[in-house]
Structure 1
């Protein structure tokens, strides 16, 4: 377990340790596999992290041990690790939130056992104004993934009716996310959350019972819940290409709408092993997302 290497990344020397430590006992995937994955996908992942506060899911002993969430940059972080300060409502004083701007910073965090990367919808330069909103489609415990795919197509149809574009990705769990890019600086988090709630409510009324609004944290029964509450100040969403700390090492994988329409894949079918090859074949299916500017119509 004492395996150690020094990698030169973004002009810095980053030490990585315990590469042989097994993080996914069911598959035998190691910490080294995780580090090499993030290094391989860094060119496409980092644009979706850059400048955004992060919440990390840390699993020092992999899935066999305890995991916890971290958003505060550790006090022992090197001075080249960027941060942004904000005042959470639950604490007094400013908290330094984690940022990632380059590959060295990404790998430094993964070496601390960060498996998951969750991002704010706003950037450090303007925390108060998001530049995307997310519609999180999560099946009830009596519904399958096919219902999620059908629901995503209803979301797309309604977005297109409103002359909006959305980009789908797997959550890395049982559901899908549809990301809707926005014009920067125009909307507050409260406004995007209210719009997403109204959008979800209208769609639920028209879906014949397929789509539902969430009530509480547990999604029970038939149907697919449209969780609008991930939009809000301090809320975050699994980043595209983030590994999830779940059996099989699934990845939050961008999709094409054609894939959503035809199905034929499992929600956890894209993982730490398969995603680099998928990127080689398909490229970044979110290409153009960060450059798209949209205004929300009245509902």
Structure 2
């Protein structure tokens, strides 16, 4: 008999779960309750990735094989919300998780992956997280991804920064860097591009910082993920692949494969190794050195004459031409 609802306990709080038997992952047969129980098991770690951060609600009401919808304006049933203004003049009240129960509530809302800002509401316009998103081109292998990740670490160390690695739950890889909330989004993005160029110089055959898709090879170091209100699936998210975005140790990186971290059984790993990102807040670094590097790099890293602002998400020259025509009523 299909249940209409149930409840789960997490950190001493009860969270109501509607349609717990709904199939979310048809290929694996995993239900909504299976996803919820994953987040209950990893609730402390998952909360660490989203605590105090505005979260985009990416909801999969019909399971991961159907299209999700994206909700910036949190429903009235949500807990804390923060009003965020946009250039259009509109505002939206984004959900701000503060407890393990809030994490489970997002799973109740059919969110399998959690998508937070890189800043917290206490300093909304000053990110405290520099995000390195390694995005392989179709020709790249996961061996290439691992090798680029391993090249990132010494470059960070040259600038007295500490990287915290995790799988993306797909073909890519993420490295988070906790930073002091003293710079705006544009400066953090600029620092990320300087870092990307430095890594590219170390492993030019397999890494690229080229923005335009047609110019890329190997693994793209996507610095634009540091733009305002961009989000990345946070640690312990479950992806449509059924794989977890899993924090890993640097010692594990040379040998891991994305398939090593399916949701089924991941709670056993979490119980064994704990939250590998637990100490990240204790390692806030300074990006001044990266910004100095940006000043030194040939051509600089400021937005070029015809490159769109960071909040405009274009990745090919054709998209740029269309955007420029619409914005300026003339061709380039």
TM-score (norm 1): 0.90
Which deviates the most, 227-236 or 203-212?
203-212
Find the counterpart in structure 2 of residue 67 from structure 1.
68
Which range moved further: 9-18 or 221-230? 9-18
User: Does the CA contact (< 8 Å) of 2:55 and 2:115 recur in 1?
Assistant: yes
Alpha-carbon separation, structure 1, partners of 2:9 and 2:204 = 55
CA separation in 1, counterparts of 2:286 and 2:14? Answer: 43
Paired residues of 1:182 and 1:295 also in contact (CA < 8 A): yes
State the superposition RMSD in angstroms.
1.9
Does residue 1:190 correspond to 2:183, yes or no? Answer: no
- 1:33-44 aligned at under 5 Å gives the runs 33-44=34-45
Higher helix share: 2
Pair 1:72–1:133, CA change in 2 (3 A): same
Supply the distance in 2 between the matched residues of 1:60 and 1:271 (Cα, whole angstroms): 21
Counterpart CA distance in 1 for 2:104 and 2:132 is 29
The 5 Å alignment of 1:232-247 reads 232-244=227-239, 246-247=240-241
> Is 1:284 the equivalent of 2:296?
no
For structure 2, the residue ranges without an aligned partner over 5 or more in a row are 294-332
Indicate which of 167, 171, 189 corresponds to 1:170. 167
What does residue 148 of structure 1 align with?
145
Count of aligned pairs: 289
Distance between the aligned counterparts of 1:15 and 1:203, measured in 2? 46
Contact 1:141 1:219 in 2 (8 A): no
Confirm or deny that 1:102 pairs with 2:95: no
3-state SS, counterpart of residue 254 of structure 1: coil
Q: Is the 8 Å Cα contact of residues 205 and 218 (structure 2) preserved in structure 1?
A: yes
User: Any idea what the Cα deviations from partners look like across 1:250-282, whole Å, max 9, x if unmatched?
Assistant: 111101111113x1x322421221321111111
Residues 211 and 225 in structure 1, CA contact (< 8 A), matched pair in contact too: yes
Q: Which has the larger radius of gyration?
A: 2
Aligned to 2:131: 134
Task: Name the counterpart of 2:195.
Answer: 199
The 8 Å contact of residues 207 and 217 in structure 2, kept in 1 or not, is answered as no
Structure scoring higher RCO (CA < 8 A, sep ≥ 6) equals 1
Structure 1: give runs of 5+ residues left out of the alignment: none
Matched with 1:84 is 82
Structure-2 residue corresponding to 1:15:
16
CA distance in 2, matches of 1:219, 1:213: 12
User: Closer, same or farther in 2 for the Cα pair 1:165/1:219, shift >3 Å?
Assistant: farther
Partner residue in 1 for 2:7? 6
CA distance in 1, matches of 2:35, 2:214: 31
Counterpart of 1:215 in structure 2 is: 211
CA contact (8 A) 1:189 1:231 kept: yes
TM-score relative to the length of structure 2 = 0.82
Question: Aligned-pair distance for 1:108?
Answer: 2.3
